[in-house]
Amino acid sequence: MTKLVTQLIQGTNGTDDRNTGAVVPPLYFATAFRHPGLGASTGYDYARLETPTRALLEKQLNLLEGGAAALAVSSGMAAIDLVFSTFTQTGDHFIASDDLYGGSFRYFDRRQAQYHVNYDTWDGRDIAQLIQALRPETKLIWLESPSNPTMKLIDLEAVATAVHAVRPNILVAVDNTFLTPIYQRPLTLGADLVVHSATKYLGGHNDILAGAVVARTAALAEALQAQLTTTGQTLDPFSAWLLLRSLKTLKVRMAAHTENAQFLVAHLPHLTAITKLLYAGVGGMISFYLAPEVAVDAFLRGLKVCSFAESLGSVETLVTVPDVQTHHDMPEAQRRALGITPQLIRVSVGLEDAEDLLADLTQAIAGAQPKED
């Protein structure tokens, strides 16, 4: 078999069953598919179950993560919901790493309030402590690494090995949105499920809302598919087609995101107005603390190349203030304990010229500092 990048670029070609010779796959909008006869099917029956375009995307997503099967859904939150609605029920318990996408916490709190699926958090470091926190009714471990927004790293392989050694049936699920399978493939490290907000790096252009779940085993994938067919939060054909296109450049985009982020990590700390910078070493996500005297609102208003906007993973650089945006639903005490302060800035480093990005951040910070007398 050819290598991954070749598969991503060539793997869906030649799939047009009308033999037009088109070098990219067609986009099928059909929601209904003719049956050849009673009890017979082309493999496609009705769009909620599967569509030809979504099927191609799912093949590529699965290839990327190295699983048994992938499911493409309508958003990252739909992917998270698919996992929890498939594998947990009232009375169950799960454990989540403590520094997560804010929307995941909002979802967990609702799940707890509405269905009594209870959860505890874990700091992502002490695995013995995690094992101790397991209960008979624990069904799932939910991890995000590097964490959001403070970039803590979790040893996914050590967690999966330790959990499965004591309780083989507990599912280890990883939100792999930040690093993508280009830098981290949780299923190959022993995780059971991988979730993506494909709205972020997989899509990469701030124009697709999508999500994905990839399962390590066929049995897990079948359970997810049965739930998805029932609830219907599938990905529409056009988004699936766009996402297929995005995946072809995932590897070069990730390399370029890393290069730009590393450039900023090398140069931003020279600014005295930045007190601390956080970076996982690869990928395009960095966070930094502005000194107390820097006015955050003035900094955001002063940006000219970067946009103050709430997302990540795209070719456009976006700047976020987690304390008031992505993580605002988290109780203040918890935010402070995690290091999410009003001066914490998260930058999703895009693919603009790195020197332009540095110059923009530098001038916006300078403009937000008190004037010297």
Give the total of residues touching ligand PLP (CB under 6 A): 16
Using rule CB under 6 A, residue 108 touches ligand PLP: no
- Lay out the site mask for ligand PLP across 40-79 (x = CB under 6 A, - = otherwise): -----------------------------------xxx--
44: annotated active-site residue: no
Using rule CB under 6 A, residue 181 touches ligand PLP: no
Please identify, using beta-carbon distances, which residue of 94 and 101 lies nearer to ligand PLP.
101
Start-to-end C-alpha separation, the chain:
67
Stretch of residues binding ligand PLP (CB under 6 A), selected from 100-108, 124-132, 257-265, 315-323: 100-108
Count of CB atoms within 10 A of residue 91's CB? Answer: 11
Stretch of residues binding ligand PLP (CB under 6 A), selected from 16-24, 96-104, 105-113, 160-168: 96-104
Count of CB atoms within 10 A of residue 254's CB? Answer: 21
| Distance in angstroms (rounded) separating the CA atoms of residues 86 and 80 | 10
Using rule CB under 6 A, residue 209 touches ligand PLP: yes
Using rule CB under 6 A, residue 199 touches ligand PLP: yes
Three-state secondary structure call for residue 269: helix
Strand partners, 32: 46
Q: Shortest approach of ligand PLP to residue 229 CB, angstroms?
A: 20
Stretch of residues binding ligand PLP (CB under 6 A), selected from 51-59, 97-105, 124-132, 249-257: 97-105
Binds ligand PLP (CB under 6 A): choice among 52, 181, 186, 211: 211
Scanning 121-236, the segments in alpha helix (DSSP H) are: 127-133, 156-166, 180-183, 218-231
Please identify, using beta-carbon distances, which residue of 280 and 294 lies nearer to ligand PLP.
280
Which one is catalytic: 200, 216, 253, 346?
200
Using rule CB under 6 A, residue 200 touches ligand PLP: yes
Please identify, using beta-carbon distances, which residue of 271 and 349 lies nearer to ligand PLP.
349
Considering only residues 262-291, where is the footprint of ligand PLP by CB under 6 A? none
Binds ligand PLP (CB under 6 A): choice among 50, 98, 175, 323: 175
106: annotated active-site residue: no
| Distance in angstroms (rounded) separating the CA atoms of residues 11 and 238 | 19
**Amino acid occupying residue 113:** A
Stretch of residues binding ligand PLP (CB under 6 A), selected from 1-9, 99-107, 161-169, 281-289: 99-107
Which one is catalytic: 101, 119, 201, 279?
101
Long-range pairs of 1-5 with CB within 8 A, sequence gap ≥ 24: 4/63, 4/64, 4/251, 5/251
Distance, CA of 66 to chain centre = 16
| Distance in angstroms (rounded) separating the CA atoms of residues 130 and 187 | 20
Q: Shortest approach of ligand PLP to residue 76 CB, angstroms?
A: 2
101: annotated active-site residue: yes
Give Cβ neighbours of residue 185 (< 8 Å, ≥ 6 apart).
Answer: 65, 66
| Distance in angstroms (rounded) separating the CA atoms of residues 37 and 233 | 29
Stretch of residues binding ligand PLP (CB under 6 A), selected from 53-61, 126-134, 192-200, 279-287: 192-200
155: annotated active-site residue: no
Using rule CB under 6 A, residue 177 touches ligand PLP: yes
Using rule CB under 6 A, residue 367 touches ligand PLP: no
In DSSP notation, 48-108 reads: TT--HHHHHHHHHHHHHHT-SEEEEESSHHHHHHHHHHHH--TT-EEEEESS--HHHHHHH
Torsion of Cα atoms, 65 then 92 then 218 then 313, to 10° = -20
> Which residues of the shown chain bind ligand PLP in the complex (CB under 6 A)?
75-77, 101, 103-104, 144, 148, 175, 177, 197, 199-200, 209, 211, 312
Active site residues: 48, 101, 175, 200
